Each structure stands twice: as structure tokens, then as C-alpha cells.
Structure 1
Amino acid sequence: MIPFSLSIGDGLGGIDNAKFSMRNIVVIGFLVISTFSEAAIVCPSMPGAITNVNRDIKSEIEASAGRLGRVSAGNVAIRTEVAAKSLFDKFPNVDRSLALQTMAATYCSMLKNSNLTEVEILNRWETFQDKVLDIRIKTASHKQSSQPTAIAPPNVDKEKTVATSESSKSLEFEETRRKAELGYAGAQNNLGVMYQNGRGVTQDDAKAVEWYRKAASQGLAIAQDNLGFMYQNGKGVPQDDAIAVELHRKAAAQGLALAQNNLGVMYQNGRGVTQNDAKAVEWYRQAGSQGLASAQHNLGFMYQNGMGVPQDDAKAVEWFRQAAAQGNAAAENGLGIMYQTGKGVPRDDAKAVEWYRQAATQGLALAQNNLGVMYQNGRGVTQHDAKALEWYQKAAAQGLAIAQVNLGFMYENGKGVPRDDAKAVEWYRQAAAQGLALAQKNLGFMYENGNGVPQDDAKAVEWYRQAAAQGLALAQNNLGVMYQNGRGVTQDDAKAVEWYQKAAAQGLAIAQVNLGFMYENGKGVPHDDAKAVEWYRQAAAQGLALAQKKLGFMYENGKGVPQDDAKAVEWYQQAAAQGNTAAQKILDAMH
């Protein structure tokens, strides 16, 4: 018997070029780290010196702030200016810096205790701060004005997205720098973001770090978290996970959800701290309970995989759903997986497709690949290779290795596109370079058969070995075939048996047949028909026709089992029913 070698995404090759279809569906969950995207309002403290101001002045200041609390967002700026002017006109000798800080502390507290949404609160607070800064600058020479200190620490301003032209971005940068140089922590953080993203200024990570550090030193949580991100990724500073964790922890202790999520990721991955899934879950839960979508997704992932918590698909779905309701693409993809596999929810391919599509349209490569798989296999949608190809291309273009393999498969088999082995090799090579075992195995098959590349057994063995070393059963089997046949390596039955055993132990039916053959014929192991039968039986139980035929042969000839024509016929019939012509010929001869 010639040993069978299996290859690509849908299976491959062997005796008489027989093909075995083994489609691969890849559904992947992943952790999300969030930076630069949200802010939490941090109120300035009430200055102690203001308590020395007479009761009427203090009451007027608090009343002014109170009236502001009832003003719509669009009128905050003008009403702030009116309130300040009225206050200064009524009490010309008041310390204006302290008065403005009192107004800010009172107004901020009212906002935090209001029923407004986070976005509405941030918009009002940002507008208020801008107007107060203008008032301070206009009155900087007033005889009672003290040093130009900030009214806060104010909260980080949300990074503005209205300005689109380069000139407006430049003006935005200059205004932010002006505020930052006056000591406003929020502006310092925002200036760091602008340098980090090259917004209105040449991109400069070192400058970003400089400004994040200034804001972080004032205790601004979002700046501490952003500075942690820079250390975590070695941007503008030497990479240092321990410092990153310290900064994330400081911000998390202030209740910043982003930092709590990021600290969870550090524990999850054992970066800068001892790996601890339970700690990761603890931080994800704190952030998720504040409504942070990325943390909700991550918590769902932990429940889905039983990491740091008992495995619970229903809870995973619950957290994925909360995050998906906010448009989190990773959670949408996670829900797609749960519906596709029927975990935590009734299996529903149509719903899986719906969630994959939502995530895919946001550009999530994993979801694009998964949507391609659904089109390729006609699950939840009408089978459509061209559509599958389209989604694989989108994901592959983003560098997703499994999508590159799937795209290579489409080119190799002419599905949704004219067959092109060279293109298939190109995509397999890109995925193999990322270390994906399946791609390495497929590339080995292309070299073994000279498809899209010059035939080269040595290169085939090289790629099979890389994939086999990662534990891929198909590659282990194929490497065994190369050793058994002396292709690309010195012929060595013992080595062949070693690799067949590894693959067979993982339940790969074709490897179990190949291992049975080695025992039946005493190749690389002592001859042992009983062992051969044992391996043939395991493969036959998986429905492999070749194994069923071999088992029939063993019963017919009493090898490793008592001779039994009835059992032989039974196994031959099962093989013949699957189209095994050799088994059918034996049955014809027996009758």
C-alpha cells in the first residue's frame, strides 16, 4: 500500500490522486486593548482659599454655576461668559482665579451628578473649560490675578474630529499647545495624542511621551494610561512592560475604565506581571461594569474559554451582546461564533452571518474571513464562491494568516476565480511566513507536487517539518510519508512510524491507516497484525473507506483477528458504499 499524504485547506492527495475534502472553518476570539478613545471627567477640587471669601460672593459663585447646569450644550459658552462678567462686575475685588476654580468645581460636580449621558457631560465640560480659559487669558493682567495656574486638573478634552482641512488641524494644534503650555493637564494629554497621531503636526512619539508625562504627573488618569501604552509598545521610550503596568494601575485606581481593561490585558498575557487570568477577569469586570465595550468583549472571551472563571457560554453571550450593542466589532464577531456553533444560544447560521457581516463591514479581518467561510460553505447564505473570495481578499489584505490560506485554497482549486497555482503559493507563503502551520503544510504540498513552484522534495520536507513541529497532524502524516518513501530525506521507516504515531494519536484517520500498514508489514516496528487491526479499526470508525477495506481484508484472511467472512463482507460493503472500487471488486469475487 502506498501511504497517503494529505494537504491543503480542503484536504489532499494520495493514491491515484484521490482527494479528501476537509474544509477548515476558523472562528477566532481575541482580546482587545483600548487607548486614546475615551475619557472620564475629573473634577477640580474646591480651593481652600475661597472659604475666606464672604458668604455673599461664595453664594453668587455657586448660583452662577447652578444656573449653568440648566443650560443647553449650545449655550454653555455664552452663558459662562455672562455669568463670569456678572460676577466680576458685582465683586470687582474678588480673586478671579479662585472664583473661576470655584465655579468650575461646582459646575463639574453638578454635571457628574446629572442624568446627562457621558458624551453630553464631556461636551459641556469641554465647552466650559475653553470659555473659562479665554476669560483667564483676557483678564491675565488684572491686578488681583495670581499666577496663570490651571483651573483644574481639568479632564482630558475629547480629541476633536470636526476639523478636516490641514489648516484647521494646524489651528487646532496651536490652540491645544497654548492650553498645554499654560499647564492644563487635559490639553497636555491631547497634545500628546496629536503628536502620537501626527494630527496638525509631524508625527513624533517622543514628543507625545513628553506631553503625556506632563499630564500624567498632574494625576490625569487618561494621560497615565496613554503613557502606559507608549511604554507597553516601546513608542518614544524603551519598551518596558513593568512601567506600563504601573501607569495603567495608577489610572485604573482612579476608576478609568480604559486603564482597567488594559491592566486586565497585561494580566491576561503575563506582561509586566505574573500571568493571572483571575486578575484579568477582575479588571475586565470593573471596566465592563462601567460600560466599556472592549472590556465587555474581553470578559465574554474569558467566559467563552473558561479562563479565570468557570466556562459559561451563556455568560459569554451576555457580555458579547452588551459590547455588540455598542457596535464593538470583536463582540459582534464573538456573537457570530456563538450562533454558528450553537454555544450559549440555539445554533443559527443566519444570525451568525448577520453578526459576522456587521463586524466585517467595520473592517474586522477575523469577521471578514468568517463571513467568507459561510459563503464558501453555503451556511446561513446561498453558497457563493465569488463572495467568499471577496471577503477572504479583504481579510488577507489586512495580513490575517488564515484568510491568506483560504484565499490560496480558492486560487489552487479555481473556486470563485480562475485556477492559479502560482497565486495560491504566493498567499500560502505570506501566511507561512507568519508561522501558520496550515500554510506551511500547504506550501510543502505545493513543492512536493510541483504546483505553482518547481518540484522540490527537500523544500517540501522543510515546510512539512515546520508545520509538524507545531503539532499539525496533517503535516506530521505527510512528513511520515516522505520518510517512508525516501523523498527529500534519507529513507527511514522508523522515522516514518514516529511521525505517523504523532498524527494518529491526534485522531487523524489517514495516519492511523498508515500506522496500521507499518505494523501489518513490520516496517519500522516489529510485525504485529493485532496492532495493525487496532489502528485500522480506529480509522474505520471515523468512516474512512480505505480503513474499512483494510479491516475487511484482515477479517477475510484471519490476520490479527479470527477469520470471519461475514465480518469481512460487512467491512467491504461499508467501504464500497463510499465508492471504494477495490472493495467492490473483492465483494464481486466473494459472491
Structure 2
Amino acid sequence: MTQTQLQIISSEAYDAFYTEKDYEKAVPLLTQMITLSPPSSPTLQIARQIAVMFANGGSIIARDSPKAVDLFTTLSSAHNDAFAHFALGLLHLAGRGVEKDYSQAASHFTRAADQNHAGAMYYLGVLHELGLGFSKDHEKAMSLFEKSADLDNADSCTALAVIHQTSGDSTKATKYYTRAARENLLALVTLSSIQEASDSQPRFQSPPFLDLTWLGTGVNPSKCLDQSISIDESTQIEFGTDTVLDFSSTTEPPGESTIGLPIPNKHSFHFSNMVKSAGEGNPMALFSMGLWYELNLVPPANHTAFMQIYCTPDQLAKNETPTAAKIALDMYNRAANKGFVPAQLKLSCVTAKGRLDVPADLSKAFTMFSKIASISNDPLAHYNLGVMYLKGWGVEKDFGRARQEFTEAADQDLSDAKFNLALMYDLGIVGSRDIVVANRLFEEAAEEGLVKPDRIV
């Protein structure tokens, strides 16, 4: 094929993708370009993006997993493309367009990891840690997570944080959670919970019992890693932000989001999309924005741009933009008003502990937790009521009601409740001491990293 013919095909492919948005038409044209000549970077990006769109489907294009597999296979076979190998690994994990096969997934992840693909290293680490496609090898998994984390992979940072948290190294855990918080939801919520605990007044730090919390403190590395590779038919496969925008290719901002917020890097890109979703009323996005502001994670350029749509003209004219704490509180309230239970729990803890410039009010917090428990039967609401009855915070001390609330939460498999309930049985609070029940509950809580104290006073 002549250079002129290639240019014609290239022009047709670009028109099909960008102008006509006829992705079915673009695929065979791109396949020709990829097969017949070394593709340019834009061509690779378009081919990857179309394949991702077919893999997940959505409002723009119907899911067609076999077509995604074919396009990724062409990319990987013709050019040993690292992203294509990574994507094929994910598709073999999910069993989309191909049979679910951990060995095949491992093979593709290995080829991508050999080219320094951080995401592939993370999934290889998961497979080694869980013994899927390989023999179980914790040391190999840790090595892969650390290499991937060095390349700024948020999932690997989160995996390392969880592992260090369960081994008792809170300093390393917090460091990795902080690095991952802008891109990984588990890291974001856990970091907020850790900060809240460290900021608490001494009265809320009363071992050996666990404190009020809007997020369970127990965590199981194997469960977390298993969830990351459990991709059902309804789940969108997360291929990574760099599929959409190549932030590494230029120092200039690649563009702006649909709401006019700058996106010079992937953190700004995440925040921009979060603002868009929040503006559409998505409670998870509203809640996440609150966490970003509470933890001071918002990039300065994004904050400045967001103030232009968040504040009134009068506030802007007088330079009276709200504090990060006020914005966080507003976002939590908006999410809570939509029935989002994590936001309701967060606000209840904020009220109990007097955070984000909210006056401490234990009685009000007790009422808030009671309402959540009554409407949603949420285990964390029951657990927090148990803590408040146990300590006499905002309500008269009542060990019987404390045990009842902890039991309600423990029956829903909340490890924090099992831990506190185990302590009550071990200490003989309410009735005679029962070591057998206490040890059973301690063992169950230990599966989530909550270890029985060496000495119980």
C-alpha cells in the first residue's frame, strides 16, 4: 500500500471517529492502519479508546466484547502494545469476549509489565498474592506492588497501605493511602477516617474499645484484592485514565472538561469529572468532593475554577469564598439529603466530635445515628449507638442496650462491632464472663485485622 493510500485511510478513520462518531466504521480502517504500518501515537490512542468503548459499552455505543478483543489482539500481535496486553489481561479476568482464564490473564499482564505498565504490575501482584494463575507468593506480590507504586499506580499504593495497616505499620499505611487518595476510593475514605481518628479529642480515644466511626476500621487484604478482580457483567472495567488522555505526552493542558475546569493532569481530570457528576446530583460524587476538600486534595487551579461556578457573584466580588471545611460540610449535606448513608454517618460523627467547624453535640449525634439505624438498618449506625450507650455519650449509659446494638451490627458482619462485643464478653460486662464467645468473636474480628489486646483492663 502506498503512502497516499495510507493517508486516505487515515483521514477516513479520523473522520469516522471524530466527526461522524461512527465507531463501527472506524474499526476496520484503524485495523488496516495498525496492521500495515507503524501507527502514530494518535492512531494508537483512538484504537485503544474505541476498544475500551466496545469492552464496556454505554450510551454512546453498545457493548461488543468480541470486537474489543479482536482490536486489542491486533494491537498486541502487530506491535506488542503494552496497553493492549493489559486490556486483554483484564478481559480474561472478567471473561468478556473470551473465557475467564487466570493463566491467560497472567500471560498478558506479564507482557505488559515487562514494558513497565504499572497497572499490569498491580494485577500481577494480585494474582501472586491470591495464588491465581501462579503459586501463591507474597514476596513476589509485594515486589510487584512496590514497583508499580514507584510508577504512581494508585491501586498498588492502596494494596500496600492495606497490607501495612493489617500488619500494624500505621505510618507506612497512611503514607500509601495519602499517595492513592485522589484516584482510589478505598484509599480516599480510609485516609479521611484515619485523619478523623488522629484529630479526635482524648475522650474519643479510649482503648481497648473501638471508637465512633463512619467507616469500619477492619480491613482484609485478601478480600480487598479479590474484589478488585471480581468483575461481573454489570461492572465497568477500569482501564485507566491514560486511555482517554495521554498526560505524559505534553506539559501543556490537553484541554478542558465540559464544565470548563482545567485538566492538566490526571488528578485534575478526576476532580473535573467528579464535579460534573456532582452537578448531575450523583451522591457518591458529592460525597467524594467533600472528602477531597476535607483532606485538602483539590488542585489549586481546579479550586479556583470551581469557585467560579460554586460561589455567588457577590461572594466573588467581595473575595468571600468559603473555607475548605465549609465546602466539605456542604457536599456531605447534599449527599446525605439524597439518602446516601455514608454521608449521613459522616455527618453524625462530625456532629459527635465537633469537626469541620460544627459544634460538638453528642445528643444530636445520638439522634442522627438512631434515625439512620431506624430507616436503613445500617450496621455502622447500630455500632455507633452501641459505643454511645457503652460510654454514656449523648444518652444514659446502658450496657444492655450497648450489647444489643453491637450484636445487631455484628450479625451484619461488622468487624468493629464483633471486636467491641468480644471485649464486653471477655470483661463480663452484662452477665457473667464468657471466654468462649469472646474468643470466637475476637477470631472473626482478627480476619479483618482487628487484633485482641495483649492485656485487657
- Taking structure 1 as the reference length, the TM-score comes to 0.32
CA radius of gyration, larger in: 1
- Taking structure 2 as the reference length, the TM-score comes to 0.41
